[in-house]
Structures are given as C-alpha cells and as structure tokens.
Amino acid sequence: MSGHISLIVSSLAIGSIYALIALGFVVVFRASGALNFSHVGVMLLGGYVTFQASRIWELGYATGILVAAIVAAGVSLLIYLTVARPLAGRPVMAVAIATIGIDIALRSAVGAYRPWAVESIEVGSPWGAETSAVFGVPVFSSHLYVISVSAVVVVGLIFAVERSRWGLWFRAVAEDEEAAAATGVPVRRVLLLAWMLAGLLAALAGSMVGTFPRLLQPASAEFAFRAIPAVVIGGLNSIKGAIVGGLVVGTIEMYTAALAPAGLGVNAHLVAPYVLMLAVLLWRAEGLFGTAEVRRL
C-alpha cells in the first residue's frame, strides 16, 4: 500500500508537469491552429534560465522561475512574430515544420552552451531530498510543490479562459478568427498573448523538470516530447484533455517504470506514452476530449 501511495504521488507530480507542457501546446493550437514543436525547445531553455538565475546569479528559486518565465515568454513571442505570423493563411503543416526547425536550432544552441550542458544540473530548488509524510508515507516535498503549483496554475488558467474578457476573446479567436475580428476582438493581441502564455507555461514546466528528484540535461527535452502523446490522447484542442492526458501519461510512465517486466527492455516507461497514444488514436482519431474535425469539399 505504501508503495502505491508514493507511486501515486510521483505519478501525479510528473503528470502535472506533462499537463503544464501539454497546456502550452493546446493554447497555441487553439490560437494558431498549429502544433508548435518549438515549445519543446522553449521548455528546455526555460529550465536552464531558471538554473542560470537561481544558482549562478543566486537570485533564489522563485525569482529564477520568474526570470525564466519572462525570457521564455519573450522567446515564444519572437517565434510567433518571425514564424507563425508570416505563415498565417498558409497550411498549418507549414507552421509545424517551421517550428520543428526552430526547436532543433534552439535545443542545439542550448546543448552547445558549455556552462549549462556539460553535466546534469538541478535548477536550485530549496527542498533537495527532503520528504513530507502523506498518509504516513514519506514522499519528496518537491512532488507536493509541483502538484500544488500546477493545480493552482491549471485552475487559474481554466478560470481565466472561461470567465475573463480575454478568455472570451481567446475562445472566439479559437473558434473563428475572421468572425472574431469582425466583432471587434483584438485578434493579433490575443494571439500574442496566447503564445506568451505558452512560453510562460513552458518555463514553469522547465523549472519543474529540473527540480529534484529530476535533473536537467539537454536530453530532458524528451519530457516535452512525451507531453505530445498527452495532448493527442486528450485531444489537440481541449484544455480539459491536456490535463487528463498529462495525468494519464504520467501515471502510465510511473507504473510502467515500477511494474513492467524486464522483457520490455530498458526505459520501456519512456516509450509507453507513445504506445498508449497509438492505441487511443486508432480508437478515437480526435483524442478523448477533442472535437472531430468537420471536413467539406
């Protein structure tokens, strides 16, 4: 039983990180209609900027995350202005391919920066290996931090999208950009904000990826790649789907790591999300909560 509780807590923690990354994908997908692969690179950058600010500049963990959020939002904005906006009106595939390019460039650049990439690093969280008791079972305090902060962010985001004026505008743009513009929605500003929000979420997730018991290294970008199955399982355009998908992927990963037979090979838990994604796509091509695409000639 105690094994299960610690497994559930770590599943929730890693699932929350996936959910945060997945939300970034969904926000941009709803705004621009494209899968933004550069989100992966922005997340990695966010993690390393957190490290830079919190440990090298010694500003502390929270300030570090703030600095990373600002930088990542800026980079994400820049990607929108230079890649996504010029490609508006072209096939969505073009944006996807162009952002793949940006992602590769960004990740290679981060990997080439010596002070960051030479060894695995911890971004400077205050907990270290400290544990707290949950139902009498010791679990890492950082897990509890990750879960609670993600929950707050997710709830805040849903509230903002459902209840605020900007949220209404965002939903209007997601539904029909032209109609939204015709009714006076500042479409461009909404798009700007959506991409910046995605960068912010990426930075937060990046800092969590680098928080003990995880360590940050250039290969940590695969965290963000595994969030893509989470998005797809939930449905590319569903915020609810991203959260559920993230938690499902986190749980699958942790349980596969703990229970999978050795016959599945080393690191089977890291590919389990993709297997699940294939199964879900064959069953429901639009994901669990996504809207099926309506097509006409």
Partner 1 sequence: MTPTKQAPTGFPFPPRGGAMLRPRLAHSDFHTSWRSELRLWNSTAKRMTMLVTVLLLLAAPAVLSSAWLRVLVVSLILGIAAMSLNLLTGVAGQLSLGHAAFVGMGAYTAAFVTGNLEANFWWSLPAAVLVAGLAGLLLSPIALRVRGLYLAVVTLGLVFLSQHLFRNWTTVTGGVGGARIETPTLFGVNLVRGGEVGPVTLTQNQGYYLVMLVITGVSYLVMRNIVRGRTGRDLAAVRDNDLAAGVVGVGVFGAKVRAFVISSAFAGLSGALLGGFLRFINYDQWSLLLSVEFLVMVALGGTGILGAALLGALFVTAVPEILDHLAPRIPWLTESGAGLTPPRASAILFGLLLAIVIVAEPLGLYGLWLRVRKYLTTWPFTY
Nearest to 106, CA basis, from 136, 132, 72: 72
Taking CB under 8 A as the criterion, the residue among 229, 241, 245, 246 binding partner 1 is: 229
**Triad 75, 76, 79: Cα angle to 5°:** 90
| Smallest distance, partner 1 to C-beta of residue 269, A | 10
Residue 104 touching partner 1 (CB under 8 A): yes
Residues 111-170, interacting with partner 1 (CB under 8 A): 111-112, 114, 117-118
291 binds partner 1 (CB under 8 A): no
Q: Which of 21, 23, 67, 102 binds partner 1 (CB under 8 A)?
A: 102
Which range of residues in 124-132, 162-170, 245-253, 269-277 is near partner 1 by CB under 8 A?
269-277
Residues in 27-56 at the binding interface with partner 1, rule: CB under 8 A: 34-35
In the list 129, 133, 163, 295, the residue contacting partner 1 (rule: CB under 8 A) is 295
Of 17, 228, 247, 249, the residue at the interface with partner 1 (CB under 8 A) is 228
Site for partner 1 in 52-91 (CB under 8 A): 82-83, 86-87, 90
- With binding defined as CB under 8 A, does residue 108 bind partner 1? yes
> Of 111 and 167, which has the nearer Cβ to partner 1?
111
CA distance 33 to 63: 33
Q: How far is the CB of 208 from partner 1 (least distance, A)?
A: 22
In angstroms, what is the minimal distance from the CB of 207 to partner 1? 23
Q: How many Å apart are CA 268 and CA 129, to the nearest integer?
A: 26
* Closest distance to partner 1 from the beta carbon of 197 (Å): 20
The 3-class SS string of the chain reads CHHHHHHHHHHHHHHHHHHHHHHHHHHHHHHHCCCCCHHHHHHHHHHHHHHHHHHHCCCCHHHHHHHHHHHHHHHHHHHHHHHHCCCCCCCHHHHHHHHHHHHHHHHHHHHHCHHHHCCCECCCCCCCCCEEEECCEEEEHHHHHHHHHHHHHHHHHHHHHHHCHHHHHHHHHHHCHHHHHHCCCCHHHHHHHHHHHHHHHHHHHHHHHCCCCCCECHHHHHHHHHHHHHHHHHCCCCHHHHHHHHHHHHHHHHHHHHHCCHHHCCCHHHHHHHHHHHHHHHHCCCCCCCCCCCCCC
Q: How far is the CB of 79 from partner 1 (least distance, A)?
A: 9
Interface with partner 1 by CB under 8 A: which range of 134-142, 166-174, 179-187, 267-275?
267-275
With binding defined as CB under 8 A, does residue 230 bind partner 1?
no
Q: Cβ neighbours of residue 282 under 8 Å, at least 6 residues apart? A: none
Task: Out of 9, 67, 201, 236, point to the residue binding partner 1 (CB under 8 A).
Answer: 236
**97 contacts partner 1 (rule: CB under 8 A):** yes
Q: Is 279 in the site for partner 1 (CB under 8 A)?
A: no
Using CB under 8 A, list all residues that contact partner 1. 34-35, 82-83, 86-87, 90, 92-94, 96-106, 108-109, 111-112, 114, 117-118, 222, 225, 228-229, 232, 236, 264-268, 270-271, 274-275, 277-278, 281-282, 285, 293, 295-297
